[in-house]
Amino acid sequence: VPTARWEHGSDLPLSVDVGPADLPWTARPHSLWGSGLDAMRALARWGTDRHGWRSLLVPTYYCQDILPTLADDIDLGVYERGPLDRRPASVRAAQGEVVVAAALFGGPTGVRGGPATVIEDHSHDPSSPRAHRSRAAYAVASLRKALPLPDGGVLWSPQGLPVPDGIGPTEAHGRAVLLRLQAMTLKHAYLQGADVPKDAFRRLYAEGEGALREGPISGISDYAKERLSILPTTRWRRARARNLRSFREALGPRRDVRVLDVPFAAVLVLDRPEIRGRIRRLLVEASIYPAILWPLDAPAVAGIPPEHLDLSRRILVLHADQRYTPHDMSRVGRAVSAALDAA
Ligand SMILES: Cc1ncc(COP(=O)(O)O)c(C=O)c1O
């Protein structure tokens, strides 16, 4: 009988858990795409043709990976906004400039756009009350950050405006999805204790990720489209909130780390980059694999303030999603506490 393996973090394995999905776009004009980036590219092209959009203004603290490709479709600029800001940014957009307002880690978008057209990015908590309540002209989300899907992105109009029609999946996209589904399936088996070399699924995840980024804009896979509508999103959001409480309780009050009050994950802000490095190494030794969102050392756009670069070197993101029980998250909280004591 296989024994279950304990590890924490990194890529989401396959899930076959089902339930009713509560998604903010279903009753609104929307279309599904191959990835969050594909959704943004499709919207940018459409907005350029249809509404004369000239550029997108993105927050200075944002995912850099997607920007070089997005810049092929539309000019990019930045406005100053990061996850520690308390007051909303007032973004002055000129004619033709469209503001991308990101709900960073599922927190507030923190943008007062005035009369500008706003595209909200809900990738970190696509089924959140915040996404449901949105009154933005447009919204986008990647469907594979918070949800166990191999691919997928969505764009919708909270205001009920017309949006670009979706397209079918491309052949290149189909190959990428196959790689990612294989990776997710093998990781699931590995976590069950099956005899699968870790390298096998890690290589497939990496290849799949690379393949998703290649090729033209694609529609979503048939698999992700069907799977999306039967994900128990409400139950999973509740599980995440419980997990985050359990993590905080186990960590206890500390002066040497700040835990952001956001629903996506346990987002830690450490005092210094060296401490982040040491904590990360100690956690990896304990089979806990945190993420760094986002590295800003080689930004794709100019104008990143030094405080955001510094923050990007002190931040550590610990997953807290439906994969885990409060018991798992206590273990992670104790491991972080021990790592801080040792760092
Ligand atoms: C906030 C945010 N928006 C959009 C994207 C793009 O989504 P995808 O990776 O599905 O293309 C990402 C990640 O890459 C992201 O972190």
Tens of pLDDT, residue by residue over 60-80, are: 999 999 999 999 999 999 999
pLDDT band at residue 21 using 50, 70 and 90 as cut-offs: very high
Asked whether the predicted pLDDT for residue 329 surpasses 90, the reply is: yes
Pairing mode, strands 153-156 and 8-9: unpaired
Among 40, 56, 128, 142, residue to substitute to test ligand 1 (most atoms within 8 Å of Cβ): 142
Ligand 1 geometric centre to CA of 142 (Å): 5
Asked whether the predicted pLDDT for residue 3 surpasses 80, the reply is: no
Asked whether the predicted pLDDT for residue 113 surpasses 90, the reply is: no
- Rounded to two decimals, what is the model's pTM? 0.97
Q: Name the closest-CA residue to atom 16, ligand 1.
A: 63
Asked whether the predicted pLDDT for residue 1 surpasses 70, the reply is: no
Q: How far is CA 130 from CA 84, 87, 121, 262, in A?
A: 18, 17, 11, 12
Ligand 1 geometric centre to CA of 285 (Å): 28
Pairing mode, strands 153-156 and 30-33: antiparallel
Q: Ligand 1 site: residues with CB under 6 angstroms?
A: 35-37, 63, 65-66, 102, 121, 123, 142, 144, 153
* Ligand 1 closest atom vs CA 144: 10
Ligand 1 geometric centre to CA of 154 (Å): 11
Ligand 1 geometric centre to CA of 66 (Å): 7
DSSP assignment, residue 5? P
Q: Is there a contact between 332 and 266 (Cβ–Cβ < 8 Å)?
A: yes
Asked whether the predicted pLDDT for residue 2 surpasses 80, the reply is: no
Nearest to 228 by CA among 12, 22, 29: 22
Percentage of residues of the chain with pLDDT beyond 70:
99
Ligand 1 geometric centre to CA of 67 (Å): 10
Asked whether the predicted pLDDT for residue 118 surpasses 80, the reply is: yes
**7-11, 87-91, 137-141: least confidently modelled range:** 87-91
Q: Is 58 exposed, middle or buried (0-12, 13-18, 19+ CB in 10 A)?
A: buried
